[in-house]
Chains A and B, each alone.
Chain A
Amino acid sequence: MNNLWLVDMGFVALLIGTGLYCLLTMRNTVKLLIGVEIIAKGVTLALVASGFARDNLVVAQCLAITVIVVDVAVIATALALVIRINRHTQSLDVRKLTKLKG
């Protein structure tokens, strides 16, 4: 494997780690979605870097575009849910979502 691919994968791990930290520690629901978005960036970079390293950029680009489309749909759906929840609880705090708590 070439060294550039290893460098790219190192940055992919940093991006996914940052996104996971955001998902695990933040309380604001919009910030959680920003964490999801950062993880998606890492995945897209991993796909394109792997395609570039293996000289198969066409398939990698197709997969990356699919990931981006799915990512947009996920973010749009999740933001709609956040706005609905915000109208009920008057807050963006994820700890206040306790309606289903037993």
Chain B
Amino acid sequence: MLHIILLVGLVAFSVLAVLSRDLLKSAISLAVASIFLALVFFGMGAAYVGVFEVSVVAGLITVLFITAIALTRHDGDVAESRRHWIVFPLFFLALAVIDVLVMKRLLGQVPAIQGAESGSFGQVLWNQRTFDLVGQVGVIFAGVLAVLALFRPDEKTHGDASRGGAHE
């Protein structure tokens, strides 16, 4: 029962993140949804992913979103359609009905193959995976470069400021 309540909370805060007009509220709703998801993972016994979800997704990504929102304060001119408050509930209801009608029949055909647990988490993470770790290291470096680009000063304003300083 607690599992279902946590999943409902996760979907509710995700919907709030989509429908909220204020970007800051959207980012915070997304962080709360991540915390609900992490609690679901802890309930399943997946502690490693739960810790990652709380620290990286609820922490780091929220900080990145809030930084980006603070650096781009021209969001008042983006006029979202007012029809979302009517269209989205209809869309969501239709999706839920299709979900209930189709999901059981669709996923019931998946063969129940039991995979054998093979070793501890560390063995599987570091020994069984080989080449995709290289790709993952590349992805992490791409993220680091992107964060550097996020905080790079604007060339034009930076140049003007240094020129102004030289005159003084």
List B contacts of A56 (CB < 8 A).
114-117
Q: What is the chain A residue whose CB lies nearest that of B116?
A: A56
B interface: dominant SS? helix
Q: What is the chain A residue whose CB lies nearest that of B84?
A: A25
A84-B149, A86-B72 given; A9·B107 CB < 8 A: yes
Are B100 and A10 interface neighbours, CB within 8 A? yes
List A contacts of B84 (CB < 8 A).
25
Q: What is the chain A residue whose CB lies nearest that of B81?
A: A25
Interface string of A55-92 (1 = CB under 8 A from B): 11111111011101111110111011011101100111
Query: Which residues of B are interface residues toward A (Cβ below 8 A)?
Result: 3-4, 7, 10-11, 14-15, 17-18, 23, 26-27, 30, 33-34, 37, 40-41, 44-46, 48-49, 52-53, 56-57, 60-61, 64-65, 67-69, 71-72, 74-75, 77-81, 84, 87-88, 91-92, 95-96, 99-100, 103-104, 107-108, 110, 112-121, 124-125, 128-129, 132, 136, 139-140, 142-143, 146-147, 149-150, 154
Query: Which residues of A are interface residues toward B (Cβ below 8 A)?
Result: 1, 4-11, 13-15, 17-19, 21-22, 25-28, 30-31, 33-35, 37-38, 41, 44-45, 48-49, 51-52, 54-62, 64-66, 68-73, 75-77, 79-80, 82-84, 86-87, 90-93
